[in-house]
Structure 1
Amino acid sequence: MDLHTYLRNFPDAQGRFGEYGGVYLPDELVPAFEEITEAYQTIAHSAQFINELRRIRKQFQGRPTPVYHCERLSRHLGTSQIYLKREDLNHTGAHKLNHCMGEGLLAKYMGKKRIIAETGAGQHGVALATAAAFFGLECEIHMGAVDIAKQAPNVTRMKILGAKVVPVTHGLQSLKEAVDSAFESYLNSYQDSIYCIGSVVGPHPFPQMVRDFQMCIGVEAREQFLEMTGLLPDAVCACVGGGSNSMGMFTAFLGDPLDIYGVEPLGKGPRLGDHSASITYGRKGVLHGFESIMLQDEDGNPGPVHSVASGLDYPSVGPEHAYLHDIGRVNYVTATDEEAVDAFFKLSRYEGIIPALESSHAIAYAMKWARENRGGAILVNCSGRGDKDVDYVVEHYGYGEDHQFPA
């Protein structure tokens, strides 16, 4: 696959990646998204916009984030080596700020006064509240009541930054319902607002726009790994919910001769309602204005979902992920709640890095890969830090007493 040709052709003019993507919206919202598309396409190649975004990333976000060799964890597992792209060191503690600062800059360019969004684990909400404070915009964040309880530290951070946090109390009170609520609010105020989607999902141009803003992860990581080792890794992996951190990581490596793994949350098992592994167990459907692979009940409605990680419990996945799965370029695998929690404790104890539960799914798969392969290296996107998760983990899993940490 030639990367430049791929990026030029996907998405196409209709915002589709093969048979996925597109725009499925109420008639009254179509002009609003056409306005966003035109504005993004105008500034995406503007030297002024790109230079300002580069300045923000360097001086405000602290980019580039480093690549780190997990020497002790690797030695514990065998002869293969695990490396982390440290997005947990990005300002606000996760990859989300990469696209939020881009979306905030776009909102200023369009003359909007307010940004509206949903959040699951709260990292997107914190990042967008940060961008709103930076650019002097109003900010409204919709969050499921279940996630508000699980992610209290992030709710506090959003409010300190000046955001209005809207609790969502219908349905399963998690990420899907938060998206529903945010869309409804945007429908009533799109003239002076912009909806800032938190992943590579939603109607065109958001899957493309968020991917492009997140691509700095993989571009940096590829260059850094080559500088560290003189080689490319044998494999690259990242967790996949909606799929923003993973598309940011994967895109730069699509043209390279290596394996790419997207790790979905298997939760408590394969039964519908016990997991959020959309590609592994879903089928084609339309949700939140785009067509992709999604978990569905017998009537074709979005299926119930579960994950120990609030940022992964979404019943669909970005359309570009669905396309990359279909053409066989990316391998989509799974990790359970228990495997993710084990990786959470192992990385904490062996490396002194407390990862987000979302990132722990990718680390869990990397640990499995390292056990099964002799030699070689796998590069993992550590998409966020685990500060937001520590209270929940301790309440439900203790301090790691049940996990083995051989010397």
Structure 2
Amino acid sequence: MGGLEIGLLSVGLIVLLIYSGMHVAVALSLVSFLSVTLQRGDPELAIRLLTLAAADGVADQTFAVIPLFVLMGMIMSASDVGRDAYDVGDHFLRRLRGGLGLATVGSNAVFAAVTGVSIASAAIFTRVAVPEMLRLGYSPRFAVGTVAGSSVLGMLIPPSILLIIFAILTEQSIGMMFFAGIGPGIILSSVYCLGIIAMAYLVPSFVYDRSGRFAEPGAAEVKVDRSPAEIAAKSLPILFLITILLGGIYGGIFTPTEAGAVGSLSALILAFARRKLTLARFWDVLKETGHLTASVCFLVIAATMYTRSLGLAGVPVEIGTLMQTATESFLLVVLIYILVILFLGTIIDSVSIILIMVPLFLPVVQGFGADPIWFGIITVIAVEVGLLTPPLGMACFVIKGCLDDKRITLGDVFWGAVPFALMMVFVLALLTAFPDLVYIDRWFGGR
């Protein structure tokens, strides 16, 4: 059996095992073991090779960046930073048509810059933004769709857990991945805002609730005027953390791993200073961080095993040769890659898609001379579309689980997210056609 056959069989078997209910990391590990055993005919050798791969997978101190950024995000989530960001955005944008949708996107973008966890954004803004939008006469589908769509900004705007995982998996600079995420994050946020304004004018029935079933009587006339001091008090902690994190990394003051430690400590000090975090809640935050970190690291270890087994079989070389023989069009190769990711996004989670697909296709796109940093941004955006699409649609499930209003169904959440998923696909096409848009320094003529 050749390398290509082993690669195709392994991907098919992994998807089958995941569909049958097996944990992704277990499926990756099992298929890796079977693949190496099949190639070498020695189960003991397979165990030794995969054990070495597992040790190498988490031996680097760079892995410390995962729990540190997760901890920072959890602390900020528990200390109502998301609510404060929404209040600031609402203050400036409420009076525009579709203004609360714009406020939600802007607040999520700001929140993403200090957390990097999409699910946390979805949970927080479901509780904060959706009730307020319904009260002021926005339609349920638009309210939940806006939260679902803007929550994915957490995985694109740095610091982002997906960008960290991609950088570790492909041995790229985490700082460079973070820098590359800024421009596309701004572009996607801007496209969301333009889309919301367009829908408010062209399809008002989707944006506003004409029946009045969800609106609070007289609420449309209510305007909450906040003092400059209150706005400053809500803004300064967020701006402080963004400056510390991104300024420190890009200014060369500390590494991304050190930035995670500094950010976590700063977030903890702010949370306790504002009396937003009790010791009991802090213990819950630590447990949640441990659970999420263990899950991610287990996945990365399993993916390292899988990558080694594919390399041993010569799968990347076989696929690269096949692609270059079948077509000389780099765009066609990227299109195939994106379509496969969009399909997988309907059945498995974001991290798993990256860990399965990147080892297969990265050597191929590098063979065409593509920049791995650009490839990482394209991958993350394509993967994040899966957070909005059924049947998995993790962000949509989180939003439904956090809703107190039983009148809004899971179907409403998915339908509300459709325009935002389409806008993400548009941005994906834009960045594929114009790769320089990924690098924000080139927007102004830099190289």
Query: What TM-score range do you get, normalising by the shorter chain?
Result: under 0.3
Point out the structure with the larger helix share: 2
The higher relative CO (CA closer than 8 Å, separation ≥ 6) is in 2
